[in-house]
Amino acid sequence: MAEYRYSVLAEADADEITAFTIRKWDVTQAAKYIGGLEALCQELAEGHGVGRACDHISPGLFRIDYVSHIVFYRPRPYGVRIVRVLHRRQLPEVHSFEEGADEDE
């Protein structure tokens, strides 16, 4: 079965999104938002979602919108590697997309 895996940066992004959502709304809303994000990532892994190429930011990088965020990812043999999850107001050009080697590829 295809799967998605977060980079260290994407994991930190998701943690930050969760904490912000809990502070601004509540735990229920945070769980709903992150659950939807994870469902989108699984769809991408299974090939059901199609993003746009972002080679101008980093070679082989794709993006897809999710509510107020943009999911940046790379296709991998196991599915997709989620590289970053940035708010749509953040400029991707000023953020790191260096994810290091995939330990389990």
Q: Domain spans of the chain?
A: 3-94
Residue 100: which pLDDT band, with cuts at 50, 70 and 90? low
Amino acid 89: pLDDT:
82
CA distances (Å), origin 13, targets 48, 84, 86: 23, 7, 7
Average predicted confidence (pLDDT) for the chain: 89
Residue 49 CB neighbours (<10 A): 18
59 pLDDT more than 60: yes
104 pLDDT more than 60: no
For residues 87-93, give the mean pLDDT. 72
Q: Within 13 Å of residue 104, how many CA atoms lie on the same side as its CB? A: 9
Question: Among 102, 74, 97, which residue's Cα sits nearest to residue 84?
Answer: 97
97 pLDDT more than 80: no
Q: Which CATH entry fits the domain spanning 3-94: 3.40.190.10, 3.30.2310.20, 3.30.450.40, 3.40.50.720?
A: 3.30.2310.20
